[in-house]
């Protein structure tokens, strides 16, 4: 154990990550526990006034718990946690210091991941305990919501956070500048879906296809699959009497499996990249010059798509407009990205 996760590194990373534990716990408490508390307070007031129809609020707890709104703040906090863990490694002198010490690069990466994953799990555990306590202390007010809603939501959100964290560490491993990586990481996670949506619109307009064309349908499906927040979006079902719709995570096993795969693939890719990190590249935008074309062209394509989504769609006549704005955005993005890469290289 000591060989895989040296105690000195655990000590160092814990000192960096403990703020992440405090931050993530706070985000979870504010985005969920406080919300259900406020809702319960309102329901009690309704009941005291004699205006509460239990049947209409039978799934209030589950509805609030499963609703959107927790993903974005947890994602930002997890991105911050990855930044805190990588920041010292991306400071020239400190990077030299760490690499002169008796640790391997693999140990440095593994401990970062282990401590980060531990902190995230810890935050969800603390929140889960508080939420469970709230549930059992107010059991009569939970109406139809079963207790399993808490472990289901917690495990799904935990895996989303762990997958995002692993992905952010992977991005940090590829980049030599921690602040840039902290910004690029979350953006990158939406790029595949964004590209699929953008490509669909360009093809649709250029070839005058209909929305039920197989290619367009396929691209839409691909974009929906790649848009990962759908993984934590619930389906809404009618209750037994058909009076109230309540949220449920269908295909929970598949969702958890997909998130687990994303987490593991990101972890192993990040680890492989980190092992090849050179201290002399610290401070540059990218750790690997082979990735420069990927970043420059990727940014240019996204910039082009962003331009045509903002200015090209819905203004004037179809393809000419969208293509012009795409090309303009592409060229602007290309020169901007190249400038930034060269700036950080110096």
Partner 1 sequence: MKIEVMSLYKTFRADTVLADINLAIEPGQIFGLIGENGAGKTTLIKCITGVYQPDQGAVYIGGKTAYENPTVKVEIGYVAEENQYFPSYRICELLSFYSLAYPRFSIDRFYELNQIFGVADKARVKELSKGMQMRLALMLSLSIQPAVLVLDEPTSGLDPLVKREAMNLILQEVESRAVTVLISSHHLSDLERICDTIGIIASGRIKAVHSLVELKQKMRKLQLVFSQDAPADLTAWPEVLAVEKVGRIHHIITKQYSEKLLNKLRQMRPLVLEEIPLELEDMFIYAAKEVQP
Q: Is the CB of 8 or the CB of 310 nearer to partner 1?
A: 8
Q: How many CB atoms lie within 10 A of CB 224?
A: 12
**Binder of partner 1 out of 37, 94, 206, 235 (CB under 8 A):** 94
Number of residues that bind partner 1 (CB under 8 A): 22
Residue 97 engages partner 1 in binding (rule: CB under 8 A): yes
Question: Residue 63's closest CA among 231, 228, 234?
Answer: 234
92 vs 218, beta carbon nearer partner 1: 92
279 binds partner 1 (CB under 8 A): yes
Between residue 184 and residue 213, which ones bind partner 1 under the rule CB under 8 A? none
Minimal distance in Å, beta carbon 284 to partner 1?
10
- Kind of pairing between the strands at 245-248 and 235-238: antiparallel
Three-state DSSP class for 163?
helix
**Smaller CB separation from partner 1, 8 or 245:** 8
Q: According to the binding rule CB under 8 A, does residue 280 interact with partner 1?
A: yes
- Is residue 4 involved in binding partner 1 (CB under 8 A)? no
How far apart are CB 295 and partner 1 at their closest, in Å? 18
21 vs 164, which CB is nearer to partner 1?
Answer: 21
Binding status of residue 297 toward partner 1 by CB under 8 A: no
Does the footprint of partner 1 cover residue 96 (CB under 8 A)? Answer: yes
Residues 6+ apart with CB under 8 A from 189: 164, 167, 228
Per CB under 8 A, 101 contacts partner 1? yes
209, exposed or middle or buried, with CB in 10 Å at 0-12, 13-18, 19+? middle
Q: Among 1, 49, 93, 214, which residue interacts with partner 1 (rule: CB under 8 A)?
A: 93
Query: Could you tell me which residues are beta bridge partners of residue 235?
Result: 248
Exposure string of 231-247, with b = 16+ CB inside 10 Å and e = fewer, is bbebeeeeeeeeebebb
Tokens of 74: 């947890």
Helical packing angle, 149-174 and 71-86, nearest 10°: 40
Task: Name the site residues for partner 1 (rule: CB under 8 A).
Answer: 6-8, 11-12, 15, 88, 93-94, 96-97, 99-105, 107, 278-280
């Amino acid at each position: 154990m000591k060989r895989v996760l040296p105690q000195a590194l655990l000590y160092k990373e814990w000192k960096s990550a403990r703020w992440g534990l405090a931050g993530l716990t706070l985000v979870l408490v504010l985005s969920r526990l406080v919300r259900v508390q406020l809702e319960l307070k309102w329901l009690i007031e309704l009941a005291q006034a004699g205006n509460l129809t239990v049947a209409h609020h039978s799934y209030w707890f589950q509805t609030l718990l499963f609703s959107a709104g927790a993903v974005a703040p947890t994602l930002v906090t997890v991105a911050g946690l990855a930044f805190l863990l990588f920041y010292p490694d991306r400071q020239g002198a400190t990077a030299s210091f760490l690499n002169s010490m008796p640790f391997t690069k693999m140990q440095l990466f593994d401990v970062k991941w282990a401590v980060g994953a531990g902190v995230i799990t810890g935050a969800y555990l603390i929140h889960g305990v508080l939420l469970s306590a709230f549930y059992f202390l107010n059991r009569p007010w939970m109406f139809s919501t079963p207790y399993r809603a808490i472990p289901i939501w917690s495990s799904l959100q935990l895996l989303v956070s762990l997958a995002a964290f692993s992905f952010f560490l992977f991005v940090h491993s590829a980049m030599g500048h921690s602040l840039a990586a902290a910004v690029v990481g979350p953006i990158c996670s939406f790029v595949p879906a964004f590209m699929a949506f953008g490509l669909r619109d360009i093809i649709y307009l250029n070839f005058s296809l209909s929305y039920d064309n197989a290619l367009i349908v396929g691209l839409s499906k691909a974009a929906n699959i790649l848009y990962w927040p759908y993984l934590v979006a619930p389906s809404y079902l009618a209750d037994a009497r058909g009076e109230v719709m309540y949220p449920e995570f269908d295909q929970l096993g598949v969702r958890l499996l997909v998130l687990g795969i994303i987490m593991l693939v990101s972890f192993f890719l990040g680890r492989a990249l980190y092992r090849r990190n050179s201290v002399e590249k610290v401070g540059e935008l990218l750790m690997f010059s082979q990735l420069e074309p990927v970043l420059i062209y990727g940014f240019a394509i996204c910039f082009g798509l962003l331009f045509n989504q903002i200015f090209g769609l819905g203004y004037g006549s179809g393809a000419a407009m969208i293509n012009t704005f795409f090309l303009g955005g592409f060229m602007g993005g290309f020169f901007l990205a190249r400038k930034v890469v060269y700036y950080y290289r110096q």
